[in-house]
A = this chain, B = another copy of it.
Amino acid sequence: MRTSRDIRTANRYGVLRQIIASSPTSRQELAAATGLSLATVATLVGELLGLGMITEVGFEDSAGGRPRGLVAVNASGGALIGVDIAETYVHVELFDLALSVLARTEDDVRPGESRPERLVGKVAAAVGSVVAQAGVEAARVLGVGVSMPGQVDRATGVSEYAPNWDHWRDVPLLGLLAEHIAYPLHLDNPLRACAVAELWFGAARGRSDAVVVNLGTGVGAGLVLGGGVHRGVSNSAGEWGHTTLVLDGRPCHCGNHGCVETYVGAPGIMRHLRELSPDSALLHPEDQTATVDALARGVAAGDPLAVQVVRDTARCLGAGIADLVNLLNPEVVVLSSWVAATLGEPLLAEVREAVARHALRRPLAATEIVLSPIPTDPVCLGAATFALEGALQAAGQRGPTATRRTPAPAPAPAPAPARSRTAPPV
């Protein structure tokens, strides 16, 4: 059951999300947009002012009434760091509180560099580098969110299983990082990162039920249900890539057969291209990115083979997305990650047609299918958002209104220092 503290944290997220989306804004507008009472909004705005996350920025006339106070996000009130660990790279970005990127690093992970100590060293160096690049005081960094592929335990900070690194089992990733990084650390996986990014800043904002379909080397679905991220009982919800599309179909690295991922993940797309035309110039045998880029250019140029590969992929994708539509009845399905971004509108058009052929009429009519509108790396943005959510939750746990009677959850990250409303820019 949700306690009053859970609802207060969710409401704090919702109000800050709305302020970031519509700064400057008034308490009255926030109440209308969130459905919360004006009194609740006023309390939450007061808390966010006290944390220095927002500032008062003047007044607006209200027809005949008292002028209304306006608030806006205080971009310089803190910094957030997002870490995107992938099979072949580590991206780290530092954001201000308006979630604009102030600094970034990109680093390759070569074969042999994925041992835990080596990788942790890379991440720690990159975090130090973005803080130095941005010229941010250490005390202003509210936290670091880390996205790690596969199955992760958020509570303990352990990365249990990474689909492409066989040697990687039960790595205490946050524990190792904490030896190098003094900021509060938060761990989750890319499905959750993309879902949170869309919920705060993208196509799922203001939606109660949304599915964020991640199309990359791996494939999955971040779930937003009831206005929040659905994690499941052991934080492994969203493994849509490992649902069956073809009983007894292609073998999958998960041990099953016919999984969605084997048809619509980048390696599955390459396999289909190879089966249709083994010698095609579109195929870059060892390079997924180059192959998907070539397919996108081929479609733009009207190359029949590229068009067929994208259409066949969209057909499988459409059947799999129709399953999500029929099962979950979401308001929006968002296509995210690099394969979706690269294949873009032509893929989207084919997917919409395929979903319409497979889904039931009533849920289909209620669902929009869109490309992610987030222009930067959604995983870094989502990971930074974990840090923002963590800071908001920690603030609530030491707030004066806390009255929880049940046992406290696992220790919160070290509280971020309170900031004054007149803090100078970062």
List the interface of chain A (C-beta within 8 A of B).
Answer: 1-4, 7, 10-11, 14, 31, 34-38, 40, 151, 160-161, 208-209, 221, 223, 225-228, 230-240, 242-247, 249, 254, 256, 316, 319-320, 322-323, 326-331, 357-358, 360-363, 365-367, 403-406
Are the CB atoms of A328 and B209 closer together than 8 Å? no
How far, in angstroms, from A346 to B353 measured CA to CA in the complex? 42
Chain B residues, CB < 8 A from A238? 327, 329
Say yes or no: A36-B227 contact (C-beta < 8 A), given A208-B233, A240-B327, A326-B243: no
Query: Contacts A14-B1, A40-B4, A243-B323 hold; do A225 and B230 have CB atoms under 8 A apart?
Result: yes
A247's partner among B10, B225, B245 (CB-CB below 8 A) is B245
B40 and A329 within 8 A (CB): no
List residues of chain B with CB within 8 A of the CB of A367.
233
Say whether B319 contacts A235, CB under 8 Å.
no
Do the beta carbons of A234 and B358 come within 8 Å of each other? no
Q: By the criterion CB–CB under 8 Å, are A34 and B322 in contact?
A: no
Q: Which residues of B contact A316 (CB under 8 A)?
A: 247
Say yes or no: A360-B247 contact (C-beta < 8 A), given A37-B403, A225-B226, A405-B37. Answer: no
Report B-chain residues with C-beta under 8 Å of the C-beta of A231. 329
A66 to B211, CA, bound (A): 52
| Docked-complex contact A326 and B240, CB < 8 angstroms | yes
- Which residues of chain B are within 8 angstroms of A230 by Cβ–Cβ distance? 209, 225-226, 328
Complex alpha-carbon distance, A334 and B367, angstroms: 28
Which residues in B have their C-beta under 8 angstroms from that of A34?
1
- A360: chain B residues at CB < 8 Å are 151, 236, 239, 242, 254
A243:B327 contact, CB within 8 angstroms:
yes
CB-CB nearest in chain B for A11: B1
Q: How far is the CA of A179 from the CA of B329 in the complex (A)?
A: 32
A404 to B329, CA, bound (A): 27
Known: A2-B7, A31-B405, A233-B331. A322 touches B14 (CB 8 A): no
28 contacts between A and B (CB under 8 A): A1-B10, A1-B227, A3-B36, A4-B37, A4-B40, A37-B403, A160-B362, A209-B233, A221-B327, A223-B327, A225-B230, A226-B230, A233-B367, A234-B363, A234-B366, A236-B329, A238-B327, A239-B326, A239-B363, A240-B326, A240-B327, A243-B243, A244-B319, A246-B247, A247-B319, A256-B322, A323-B323, A327-B327
Query: Closest residue of chain B to A230, judged by CB?
Result: B225
A225 → B minimal CB distance (Å): 5
16 further A-B pairs in the complex, CB-CB below 8 A; given A236-B329, A247-B319? A1-B36, A2-B10, A2-B226, A31-B405, A38-B405, A160-B362, A161-B362, A225-B226, A231-B329, A233-B367, A234-B366, A237-B327, A239-B360, A243-B323, A245-B247, A246-B247
The contact of A404 among B37, B221, B322, B404, by CB within 8 Å, is B37
Complex interface: chain B residues within 8 A of A326 (CB): 236, 239-240, 242-243
Partner of A209, one of B35, B232, B365: B232
A161 to B364: give the CA distance in the assembly, Å. 14
A221 to B403, CA, bound (A): 37
Q: Chain B contacts of A235 at CB under 8 A? A: 329
A36 to chain B, nearest CB (A): 7
**Contact partners of A10 in chain B: CB under 8 A:** 1-2
**When chains A and B are docked, how far (Å) is the Cα of A36 from the Cα of B242?**
37
CA distance A315 to B326 in the complex (A): 22
Nearest chain-B residue to A245 (Cβ)?
B247
Please report the C-alpha to C-alpha distance between residue A221 and residue B253 in the assembled complex, in whole angstroms: 28
